[in-house]
Amino acid sequence: MLKFIGSGSAFNTKLGNNSAYYKEGNQILLIDCGSNIFQRIKENNLLEGIEQIHVLVTHTHADHVGSLADLILYTYYSHGEFAKNKIIIHSPFDTGISEILKLNGCVVGVHHSENLIGGSGQVTKILKSTLFNFDRNSHVEELNTYNITLNIKGRTIWYSSDCNEINKSLVEDINFRNNFIAYIDTCKADYNGNVHLSLRKLTQLIKPEYRNKVWCMHLDEGFVREEAEALGFNVVKNEY
Ligand SMILES: [Zn+2]
């Protein structure tokens, strides 16, 4: 349902920073815009015919927001109609994205708009009928990080962003809810204090019969696609 511009972890330059998108008519929804994402968007003409861009920001690690200011200023100055604000940034206010964009020279109301959300659970509607809300995640102590629940055309999509654990209620949703799929940060690296979720842990949490509802993403360099697929999981691919 979602497509991916990049599907790698912070240092997996080959696959690019993890970033998903969904297009509807002349609008695009983008989740995060890490350091090497603007270049991939431009090189693959992803904005052709696009007049409005919604960016959902999960947290402010550079591999999630590193080229967001480039995208904002590019769309204002060089994409489509000159000097028209085409981007809305949606994020919980306490991710701090607003301050980062300001320091990057992006002016709210001029270059872009912001929908700063109070916190977990608040539902926003965008595109024709897409609903989403953010919820707090377990990732790193120093940054507020959020997962996203999206409802697109009757299907519920849970998108972990970066996380090192998933809770019991998500596992139950994967097991028992129809039209429910989960995109989960999964890495090969497996050590105490890991800020991402290892394939070993995910395998312990999700029973084999439900693994076809899970898509592994944010893949590190040691991740072996065939290993995850042999266990019954899906693995995302970059698609433009
Ligand atoms: Zn992160």
Q: Indicate whether 39 pLDDT > 90.
A: yes
Find, among 148, 166, 161, 240, the residue nearest to 210 by Cα: 166
Local confidence band at 146 (pLDDT 50, 70, 90 cut-offs): very high
Ligand 1 center from residue 49 Cα (angstroms): 31
pLDDT value at position 89?
98
Ligand 1 center from residue 187 Cα (angstroms): 13
Ligand 1 center from residue 176 Cα (angstroms): 29
Q: Indicate whether 167 pLDDT > 80.
A: yes
Domains of the chain by residue range? 3-235
Q: Indicate whether 119 pLDDT > 80.
A: no
Ligand 1 center from residue 146 Cα (angstroms): 10
Ligand 1 center from residue 16 Cα (angstroms): 14
Q: Indicate whether 93 pLDDT > 80.
A: yes
Q: For domain 3-235, which CATH number applies: 3.20.10.10, 3.60.15.10, 3.30.930.10, 3.90.1150.10?
A: 3.60.15.10
pLDDT value at position 55?
98
83 torsion bin: left (phi>0), alpha (psi -120 to 50), beta (else): left
pLDDT value at position 168?
94
Mean local confidence (pLDDT), 42-48: 96
CB under 5 Å of ion ligand 1: residues: 61, 162
Mean local confidence (pLDDT), 52-56: 98
Ligand 1 center from residue 159 Cα (angstroms): 13
pLDDT value at position 19?
98
218 torsion bin: left (phi>0), alpha (psi -120 to 50), beta (else): left
Q: Indicate whether 128 pLDDT > 90.
A: no
The strand pair at 27-31 and 155-159 is best described as unpaired
- How far apart are the C-alpha atoms of 53 and 75, rounded to whole Å? 9
Mean pLDDT, rounded, of the chain: 96
Local confidence band at 1 (pLDDT 50, 70, 90 cut-offs): confident
